[in-house]
Amino acid sequence: MRKKIAIYIGEIGGAFQHIMIQAITAKANALGYDVVAICSFGSYNYDILYAEGEKASINLADPSMFDGIIVTEDLFDNPGMEDELYEKLKKEAKCPVVYLRTHREGLHGILLENYVSMERMVRHFTDDHGFTDICYMSGKAGNYDAAERLRAFMDVMKEKNIPVTEHMIFHGDFWRDKGREAVNWFMEGRDSYPQVIICANDYMALSVCDELRNRGIRVPEDVCVSGFDFIDEARAYEPTMTSLEVDFEGMSERAISIIDNVNNGKDEEYIQYMPAKLVLNKSCGCGEQRKFGDVGAIIAKDYRKTASMKNNMLMGIEYQDCFEIPECMAVADKFRDAIKADKAFFCMADTNEQGFDEVENDSLFTEQMILTEIFEEKNRRISCNKTFARRELLPKEFFDKDEPSNYFFFTIHFKNIVYGYMATDMPKDDWFDIYTQAYLISLANAIENCNVHSRMEKLEEIRSLYQKDALTGLYNRRGFDKLLRDKFMKARANNENFGIASIDMDNLKIINDGFGHASGDIALKALANALSNVIEDDECAARIGGDEFAAIINIKDSESQDKFKTRLKEELNDYNKDKKDFEVGASIGICEVLEVPDAPLIECLKVADMRMYEDKKTKKNHR
């Protein structure tokens, strides 16, 4: 069996993560290793139980099965996750473990030369620019990188005899939402802006630039700004950011080299450092504005984001009609574009395994998993029911290939209840993003909803109440809309035809006012019974409002519409023969979907309604 390297990685959608994974997989595959990425998204501290579910990813794999492990704990955004993983690796890992950008006792670590790199940046402003009015935006408290970069700033300021007051330092969170707060802090008690704002990473620097621009302050003419990491956004920003370029690719390749060397009996130092390169650009006035990049690619990327947002919204709507998990997987298949990869495996927990429903076991996986679905390229979906040991991560045949494999694993969980995981292959031309997270959240929510319903004794009764009209027994609007959407999409895909009938009961108000609402109910049921007698087995009828009915009818020939109308009127005439108090009638309008090619469903409904009102108007004129 081929050797495997695992990487535990948080905030998988980031640019750094993409660069790092590409470097790791290329280097590891060249040396004959499979790569297994155990991925998590951020919890953002909004929901403790959701954070617990994300944290469950550290329990997905058995560390003892790997030949090397890489950890990026500074990217975890779930409280306590990094410490729990460290304790687990200490106990269970039997291979070299390398931490990137952080260090844990007894394990290998590749660290940035944070102090030396930031010292170089601060000296650029004190020595090359001659600045003395300098503010500093630090990273989140307790983070190693943030502490070292802040220490470098403080030491240079002390050496230069520049006093550091309380409002010269602001503690951010390494993200883009603190720019306004930071600038407000820096401006407390002063009338003029500082000469420069040095930031501990690019995201915070970009947020500061945005806020300064909003205030009419120019960068670098009025205030210089610098960052750290030199990410893509910093390169494309105007002004291009002066920053410290981190060799993420080299760092990732070095981690693989350490693992391979140790596995082959070679010694490697436990702590190794990598420098960051000072890159001077327009945001400090020492460089030119870089080209913005491929405008077409940027527009295409923005379009994909908009399309993904729309698809996730539509996906959530379709999940509302799912009562069983296979229905959920059909919706998931329909919106598979959010996954980004060509192939996805859905491995669900064995819910019959002892302890699955126990509260204390909610954030763990079952020992046996069931591969239920495989989504492949070209929209091929394979339903299966293959049980395997979770320790294997996937059935063995998916790893036993001629060439090394790379798989990404994402936990599927509703809050802290873990229902399984999704595994994908390596994305080719795209990368995981927040819409992938939304995709998994929506799927987990739908699965939870199905499981709640399945636990209830009267599931069929609930389904009936949800989709059927209580008075007439026909479908209600909700049930009819679902059937109609499915029928319409199939017809459009196969260029098939069918008819949508809009049916409005005549004179219900007159019956209610003259003979009472009980008589009105009798009339409504009479129309419903007539419709039930007219429709065929593969057709359907519904009461979609007070006196509003609808039907899906087969269109077999040019006379199908007239035949339906005639049969319905005959049924009503038969009913009216024995009635003396009131008559039951209906106005009918029908639209065939092929009459309005390429039009959306709502246009077909409008045509049917328009024809129904024309029928009603004709009756009034002849009365």
565-583 residue pLDDT tens: 999 999 999 999 886 688 9
pLDDT for 257 equals: 97
- Per-residue pLDDT for 404 more than 70? yes
Q: Does the structure show a pLDDT above 90 at 97? A: yes
Does residue 46 register a pLDDT over 80?
A: no
* pLDDT attached to residue 482: 87
pLDDT digits (tens, 9 = 90+) for 331-346: 999 999 888 899 999 9
Contact 340, 431 (CB under 8 A): yes
Distance, CA of 26 to chain centre: 26
- The runs of H, that is alpha helices, within 110-264 are 114-123, 144-159, 179-186, 202-214, 232-236, 248-263
- Looking at residue 261, its pLDDT comes to 97
- What pLDDT is attached to residue 562? 95
Q: Is the pLDDT of residue 360 over 50?
A: no
Q: How far apart are the first and last CA of the chain?
A: 85
| Residue 159 CB contacts under 8 Å (≥ 6 apart), including other chains | none
Contact (CB, 8 A) for 277 and 245:
yes
pLDDT at 365: 87
Q: 325-334 and 434-454 are packed helices; what angle lies between their axes, rounded to 10 degrees?
A: 160
Mean of pLDDT over the chain: 90
For the segment 441-452, the average pLDDT, to the nearest whole number, is 91
Over the range 528-545, which residues count as b (16 or more CB within 10 Å of their CB) and which as e?
Answer: bbbbeebbeeebbbbbbe
> What average pLDDT score do residues 275-293 get?
85
User: How are beta strands 499-506 and 548-553 bridged, if at all?
Assistant: antiparallel
pLDDT 10s digits, 226-282: 999 998 889 989 999 999 998 999 999 999 999 999 999 999 999 999 989 999 999
- Amino acid (1-letter code) at residue 263: N
Residue 351's pLDDT band (cuts 50, 70, 90)? confident
pLDDT attached to residue 296: 55
pLDDT average, residue stretch 279-301:
73
Share of the chain above pLDDT 90, in %: 70
Q: How confident is the model at residue 361 (pLDDT cuts 50, 70, 90)?
A: very low
Name which of 113-127, 394-408, 571-585 the model is least confident about.
571-585
- How far, CA to CA in Å, does 59 sit from each of 281, 326, 341, 370, 373? 44, 26, 24, 17, 22
Query: Looking at beta carbons, which pairs linking 466-472 to residues 24 or more positions away fall under 8 Å?
Result: 469/528, 469/542, 469/543, 471/521, 471/524, 471/525, 471/528, 471/543, 472/524, 472/525, 472/528, 472/543
- The pLDDT of residue 454 is 72
State if pTM tops 0.85.
Answer: no
Confidence of residue 372 (pLDDT cuts 50, 70, 90): very high
Res 45: pLDDT = 56
pLDDT at 456 over 90: no
Q: What does the pLDDT read at residue 462?
A: 63
- The pLDDT value given to residue 359: 44
> Number of helices and strands (H, E) in the chain?
18, 21
Most confident of the ranges 13-27, 259-273, 417-431: 259-273
pLDDT at position 460, please?
A: 62
Three-state secondary-structure class, residue 364 = coil
CA contacts within 13 A on the Cβ side of 4: 25
